[in-house]
Structure 1
Amino acid sequence: MLNQYLIQLMLSKGIGEVALKKIINVVPEREWQTLCESPHLLGNIINCRGNTIESVLLNKDRAGQLYLKMQKNSIAMILESDKSYPPQLKDALGSKCPPVLFAKGNIELLSTIAVGFCGSRKVSEKGLSITSQCAMQLVQKNISVVSGYAAGTDTAAHVAAIENGGNTIFVLAEGILNFSYKKQVKAHLTTQNHVFISQFYPDAQWSVGNAMKRNSIIIGLSKAMILVESGKSGGTFSAGEETLKLSLPLFVIDYEKPEVSAEANPYFISRGGVPIRGKNQTPNLARVFWAVEHGSNHENSTKHSPVQLDFFNMS
């Protein structure tokens, strides 16, 4: 479903996610046009000032243009109240899930069983190899791969998933009309094996803040998260912290001698992240599969799954 009037409201100053949720839940869709044409009526629904009313009126043409671009590019607009809105996201984030998702691709993938990846853009060669091997094992079990479409770890996870006949979900840190197809990704895309999604207004620019914010969507779509390499600050570190706060199983690659790009991995293991080790440099994902199947927290997955073998040796 696409609705240019909801886009017009979403673009306007003073109408954030909380206000947008209230509008969607209180005002019937057939009346959104009335709100956009007579925005002073918004004061009956949300707290707003004169600049909000002015902003709604000023965004009419921009919303119309974006609406046409979205139609041309086969972009779907999924409301929190729609049946196609991913149930896993609602369960994980509760009232904090975004009111609207913009999607391009196979939206049915948003309701599949998935595992998320987070990791450094400057991931080591060993980390890239481990990421690819993990993604390959997941898709062999019909588990979708979710990540943030950034350089390094994210792209390696996406590419390995679709190269090996699996499915992947790209969670964007910009508007759905602003992303571009990376060469290594585009070569393997089919109409069924992927979906791009964004919680931001359609022509929003990439920003550090958006990149941090979209972490919750990656986590929320996933039954478990795999942290490949994290420094002591930044987006991956934030994603690891948020995963633990949400009590989602967090699996951490356990290197014998972590490089700088993985210097925070031991920290996350000490905080309750479950170590992923391996044999002959192949990641052992037994605990991940157990957690996905049983919907367990990371503590239970440690107690009831097979003992891992060797550390990943970085030398």
Structure 2
Amino acid sequence: MGKPQISERDWLYVLAMTPGLGRRTIRKISETAGSFQNAVDHWLLIGEELGLSVELVQQVDMQTNAAAVMHLLAKREASRTRFLCIFDEDYPSLLRHIPDQPLTLFCRGDRKLLAEAAIGVVGSRKPTPYGRASCAYLVKELVQAGLAIVSGLAYGIDGEAHQTALAAGGKTIAVLGCGLNHVYPPRHQTLYEKIESFGLLLSEYPPDTPPVPGLFPERNRIISGLSLGVVVVEAAEKSGSLITADCALEQGRDVFAVPGPIFSLMSAGPHNLLKQGAKLVTRPCDILEELPRAYASGAESASVAGKGRSSITLTAEESVIVEAITYEGVHVDELVQQLEPDRRKNVHQLLVRLEAKGVLAALPGGYFARR
């Protein structure tokens, strides 16, 4: 059978789904042939001109015959994964203008989030309690100001950012470094499902693409590309999070860095960014005031919220607990040991009360940190 006459959008999908063809080769195909339809109509000549391997030329030739194309398009329509590409009007405008923009996007969840203002939040996969508390504090205020949170579904700060956004009733976008049929890391299965239900899962790779190390640095340009700016919360000196910061700078996005203790290895990345001119962040309004004018009211609200926390009235018992807890975080067992015996019996009740007041943040593993 010959090559069918279908839209450029569908040909892009067919080529993207062909094993062995990456976005750079697909771009070359389009540039060389002038259109995807012309490329498949004269595929043997185009493949030879591009110097593609015989195996790859044969693979594309089989994938683009009428029967294979119709089967692939029918399978796409039956899938819960939606397809978006550069030919679509609702392709994200921020992504359209970045260097090496993704040609294709595969989505599960609320696609309308791609049109909303968002901020990227990235950081260490092994954050300290201080890092988790900082992330939770900032993200909660940012979603209340109307921003969606974009991150990479990795362990650590990424997961904290997604979870806090959802818990605060906000929206979040997870950009995966593999296809949407793979949950990576596997322990984020529950978080993956929550984001699919209440946020958006996104990948430029076909759904069956397995998690391969080289793909994760590539997806970072999408995290920054979808965002008005990127916040880095804890990162070692050579952390992958810094790749996202570099992408943001290349794309003309703001880079924000949260400072940390000078003796912590996790502070090296943000501190180096600060030395290079990143915006120092200690409060949500430090971020909001740099964003477009539409978020000036959000910055003001965050500032008011910050002032409100400082005026919270604490009982004598609560004040003792707060004084014993640092911004880096303290385990509840260590806290109990620091207190006088007569003050230990109500510790758990007081911690819950202080968390409700917004003075403390509960962290995984039994840690609490001051906000």
Fold shared by both chains (TM-score > 0.5): yes
| Residue number in structure 1 paired with 2:291 | 292
Q: Percent identity?
A: 22
* Cα distance between partner residues in 1 of 2:28 and 2:93: 20
Aligned match for 1:80, one of 73, 82, 86: 86
Q: Return the letter of the residue paired with 1:154.
A: D
Aligned match for 1:108, one of 102, 107, 112: 112
Q: Tell me whether 1:164 sits opposite 2:168 in the alignment.
A: yes
Aligned match for 1:252, one of 249, 257, 260: 257
* Cα distance between partner residues in 1 of 2:265 and 2:69: 45
Aligned match for 2:178, one of 166, 174, 177: 174
Q: Return the letter of the residue paired with 1:291.
A: E
Q: Tell me whether 1:211 sits opposite 2:219 in the alignment.
A: no
| Runs of 4+ deviating beyond 6 Å | 1-4, 60-66
| Residue number in structure 1 paired with 2:150 | 146
Q: Is the 8 A contact 1:171 1:218 kept in 2?
A: yes
* Cα distance between partner residues in 1 of 2:294 and 2:100: 21
Q: Single out whichever of 5-14 and 155-164 deviates more from structure 2.
A: 5-14
Aligned match for 2:133, one of 129, 143, 153: 129
Q: Measured at CA, do residues 163 and 41 of structure 1 come closer, stay the same or move farther in structure 2, by a change above 3 Å?
A: farther
* Cα distance between partner residues in 1 of 2:269 and 2:76: 40
Give secondary structure in 2 for the equivalent of 1:264: helix
Q: Is the 8 A contact 1:14 1:48 kept in 2?
A: no
Q: Tell me whether 1:262 sits opposite 2:267 in the alignment.
A: yes
| Residue number in structure 1 paired with 2:344 | none
1:203, distance to aligned residue in structure 2 (A):
1.5
> How many residues are treated as equivalent by the alignment?
290
* Cα distance between partner residues in 1 of 2:157 and 2:71: 35
| Residue number in structure 2 paired with 1:280 | none
Give secondary structure in 2 for the equivalent of 1:117: strand
| Residue number in structure 2 paired with 1:231 | 236
Q: Return the letter of the residue paired with 2:168.
A: N
* Cα distance between partner residues in 1 of 2:58 and 2:96: 33
TM-score when normalising by structure 2: 0.68
Q: Return the letter of the residue paired with 1:145.
A: I
| Residue number in structure 1 paired with 2:358 | none
Q: Is the 8 A contact 1:257 1:314 kept in 2?
A: no
Give secondary structure in 2 for the equivalent of 1:263: helix
Q: Return the letter of the residue paired with 1:286.
A: C
Q: Measured at CA, do residues 313 and 163 of structure 1 come closer, stay the same or move farther in structure 2, by a change above 3 Å?
A: closer
Give secondary structure in 2 for the equivalent of 1:81: coil
* Cα distance between partner residues in 2 of 1:62 and 1:153: 42
Give secondary structure in 1 for the equivalent of 2:257: strand
1:189, distance to aligned residue in structure 2 (A):
4.7
Structure 1: runs of 5+ lacking an equivalent: 278-283
* Cα distance between partner residues in 2 of 1:62 and 1:262: 52
Q: C-alpha deviations, 1:284-314, integer Å up to 9, x for none?
A: 1112111222499xxxx9xxx9xx99xx954
1:41, distance to aligned residue in structure 2 (A):
5.3
